[in-house]
Copies of this chain bind each other. A is one copy, B any other.
Amino acid sequence: MTNALINQEPPQGTLAGTVYQAIRRDILTCKLLPGQQLRSDMMKLEYGASISTIREAVARLASEGLVQQLDQRGARVATISESDLRDLLKVRENLESIALRWSIKNGGEQWEAVAIGRFHIFRRSLQRRNPNISYDLDLQAAHEDFHLSLISACDSPRLLAIVKSLYTQSRRYRFMADYGRASDSDVIGEHERIMESAFDRDADRACRLFEEHAAKTVDLALANLTLLQRQFEEQAELERQ
């Protein structure tokens, strides 16, 4: 419900689509670990569909970059690394900055209204967050939805789709490192200032603020990754036996 803007596919449709979403969710929440082999038999039992159907779902995920397919050697969950994360965030920052600029130029009152609405939901999610839960899915979805709404008026379906997919790929890292909980800094204020600059049509300021915001994310993410990656590798080693 809350992440309607993020999940592009409706629940009705083909079984392959449903399986695709299920596997995708398990990858993004690291129930399926990075590097883990996706064995046909295991998947068949786990997701209750035939091998062919599973195969199609996996093929879709492969094109999304969430799964790596090796010729004649099946598929595995895409691996993670510090260099990959650096690249991902660097590209996302630059592309989203462009999209924000275009969006500020094209956006009208309707765009502002949607962004304000998303901002409100994001703030509410942050307020009622449970400190005991290490990873709040709704909060992350609200965060993404807000950012995407800011660039939604960029009038470029392609750029929007690319940035969306970069957000998707980031989610796995964010889940692991849980770098959403930077509650010491003024998260709401940061976002509010970006939005206000955008509404004032001050693209330079908005992009500068956004890039500063993004830089913080990079630091937070990298700080936690190395430790966690070792953890996951040990777990994967265990499952291999």
Contact = CB atoms under 8 A, between A and B. Distances in A.
Contacts of A91: 156, 158-159, 162
Number of copies: 2
A14 B157 contact: no
Contacts of A17: 71
B158 A87 contact: yes
A230 B63 CA distance: 32
Interface residues of A, number: 27
Interface stretch (A28-36, A52-60, A138-146): A52-60
A157 B94 contact: no
A64 interface: yes
Contacts of A189: none
A131 interface: no
A166 B162 CA distance: 11
A94 B88 contact: no
